[in-house]
Amino acid sequence: MLTSALRSGFRVTGLGLVLLAAPVMAESEQDPWEGFNRSMFTFNENVDRYAVKPFAQGYRYVTPDLAEQGVSNVFDNIGDVGNLLNNLLQLKFEAAGKSFARLTFNTTFGLAGLVDVATPMGIEVHNEDFGQTLGFWGVGSGPYLVLPFFGPSTVRDGVSMPVDWVADPVGYAGHVPTRNSLYGLRLADTRSRLLKAEQIVSGDKYSFLRDAYLQRREYQINDGAVEVKYDSDF
């Protein structure tokens, strides 16, 4: 009874956010704004090609592997704050407990997150964000949307981003230069992790990334319990 009531409340609230942003679209019309999205995609590609990617490549070139892994571990540890909150919002108490354990062990024994001691202990990551939380409570994704600078998204994921920002500890760094430096370092770390992954992109890059993003989000929101569909030639 309580879970049903909570689901209904979150569904109404989240649906209201989606309706404010865009009309509800049919499932078969996931990308009705393709013209706009392709323009934003081209803009983002140019920003990445001439600024972000060279920045990430330079970061990887000058940073020792051990230090680079330590930076990644720190930001993964910071991310467990949002994981903990969203697992609680989804009533996934076991996952929330593991996120709390990861955060505790990695912050203390892992030297503020520099060393990931939780994974070898068998405490796995449960990545969740507020877009997944809205999806868990029944809010539809809305149309596919490419955001300037942020890239692939949906209406639901786009309107949920401010909540993720509020849950991000980096935003509470009181010293502005330090906060901006952390944002820049996280950008370099995130983009450098994708340098190898981008090699698997084939065909129309826009369509490839759109389909990959939508399928990945469906997988995440359903905790891997998704229907596998094969075409007639499989």
Per residue in 136-164, pLDDT (tens digit) is 999 999 999 999 999 999 999 999 999 99
pLDDT of residue 197: 87
Whether the predicted pLDDT of 3 surpasses 70? no
68-94 per-position pLDDT tens digit: 999 999 999 999 999 999 999 999 999
Gap between the Cα atoms of 25 and 31, Å rounded: 9
Phi-psi region of 87 (alpha: psi -120 to 50; beta: other; left: phi over 0): alpha
Band of residue 224 on the pLDDT scale cut at 50, 70, 90: confident
In this prediction, residue 227 has a pLDDT band, given cuts at 50, 70 and 90, of: low
Confidence of residue 29 (pLDDT cuts 50, 70, 90): confident
Chain-centroid distance of CA 86 in Å reads 12
Res. 23: pLDDT tops 50 = no
Name 113's Cβ contacts closer than 8 Å, sequence gap at least 6.
73, 74, 75, 76, 77, 78, 106, 107
Among 131, 146, 139, 149, smallest CA distance to 33 is for 146
- What whole-number distance in Å separates Cα of residue 129 and Cα of residue 158? 12
Higher pLDDT, 43 or 1: 43
HEC profile for 18-84?
HHHHCCCCCCCCCCCCHHHHHHHHHHHHHHHHHHHHHHHHHHHHHCCHHHHHHHHHHHHHHHHHHHH
Using 50, 70 and 90 to split pLDDT, how confident is the model at 19? Answer: very low
Amino acid at 5: A
Is the confidence at residue 1, as pLDDT, over 50? no
For residue 22, is pLDDT > 50? no
Phi-psi region of 22 (alpha: psi -120 to 50; beta: other; left: phi over 0): beta
**pLDDT tens-digit profile of 99-120?**
999 999 999 999 999 999 999 9
pLDDT at res. 25: 43
The predicted pLDDT at position 44 comes to: 98
And the tokens for 233? 């030639």
